[in-house]
Amino acid sequence: MITRKMLLFCAFTLVLLISTTFSGCTSNAKDTQAQVTDPAIKDWHLTLNGTREKLLTIDALRRFPVATGHCYAVSTTGIRFGPYLCTGVDLRDIIADVGGMGPDDQVWISAPDGYLWVFDAEQLEGKGFVTFDSDLKEIPSPPLRIILMYEQDKKPVSYDDGGPARIAIVSDNPGVITEGSAWVKWVDNIEIKKK
């Protein structure tokens, strides 16, 4: 016979089991994030490889001319992130610092997780991107700029958002959506590939 006591005991065990499982998950996620986040920002530097090599700290990046604009992206699964006010450095200014790039060259942008995105010279001028309005209807592209963003809505870009430095594609007009796949998070390497 199942008594009231037995039922209560079962319910109690179940609650205990569920809560330990979930608290285990949360604290693990927090630990991993803490380990990655803090040293990542403190020790972050950007390796530039053009006709010469150069390392930039976050302070050095902030000394470049400031580029700002509206930015808004959509992931391949249709999830929108933004709109934001994005602040950073025009990628052309960064590339010019290591010798610039010719019309047939490409710029390879990569991150410690192995993610890589390639822009060509046309895109570096803000042309040739697919753009959408806020209903995700494709629209003709207005002039755009690729920036290495270090502030999102006037706050340093958080680790979760791809900080300390993330690629963003910005427009002077609000509400222009670009494809999130080009928005490389945690950028730590920029390389010019000569053809």
Ligand X SMILES: Nc1nc2c(c(=O)[nH]1)N[C@H]1C(S)=C(S)[C@@H](COP(=O)(O)O)O[C@H]1N2
Q: Is 159 in the site for ligand X (CB under 6 A)?
A: no
Does position 111 bind ligand X by CB under 6 A?
yes
∠ CA 130-107-97, rounded to 5°: 120
Cα–Cα distances in angstroms (integers) from residue 143 to residues 68, 72, 171, 177, in the given order: 14, 14, 7, 13
| Among positions 81, 108, 125, 159, the unique one binding ligand X when judged by CB under 6 A | 81
> Which of Mo ion, ligand X, none does 64 bind, CB closer than 5 to 8 A by kind?
none
Cα three-residue angle 131-124-64, rounded to 5 degrees: 115
Residue 181 interacts with Mo ion (CB under 5 A)? yes
Task: Select the span of 49-57, 73-81, 92-100, 118-126 touching ligand X (CB under 6 A).
Answer: 73-81
Using rule CB under 6 A, residue 132 touches ligand X:
no
Judged by CB under 6 A, the stretch of 34-42, 57-65, 92-100, 176-184 that binds ligand X is 176-184
**Among ligand X, Mo ion, none, what binds residue 145 when CB lies within 5 to 8 Å by partner kind?**
none
| Nearest distance, CB of residue 148 and ligand X, angstroms | 13
End-to-end CA distance of the chain: 81
Category of 30 on φ-ψ map: left (φ > 0), alpha (ψ -120 to 50) or beta = alpha
CA–CA separation, 77 vs 123, rounded Å?
A: 23
Residues 53-92 that bind Mo ion (CB under 5 A): 75-76
**Could you tell me which residues come within 8 angstroms of residue 180 by beta carbon, excluding any fewer than 6 positions away?**
73, 74, 75, 76, 81
The entry of Mo ion, ligand X, none that residue 51 binds, CB within 5 to 8 Å by partner kind: none
Least distance from Mo ion to the Cβ atom of residue 130, Å: 13
List, in sequence order, every residue forming a beta bridge with 107; answer none if it has no partner: 119, 192
**8 A C-beta contact, residue 165 and residue 44:** yes
Site membership for ligand X, residue 98 (CB under 6 A): no
Is position 21 an interface residue for Mo ion (rule: CB under 5 A)? no
Q: Which is nearer to Mo ion, 23 or 181 (CB)?
A: 181
Residue numbers at the binding site for Mo ion (CB under 5 A): 75-76, 181
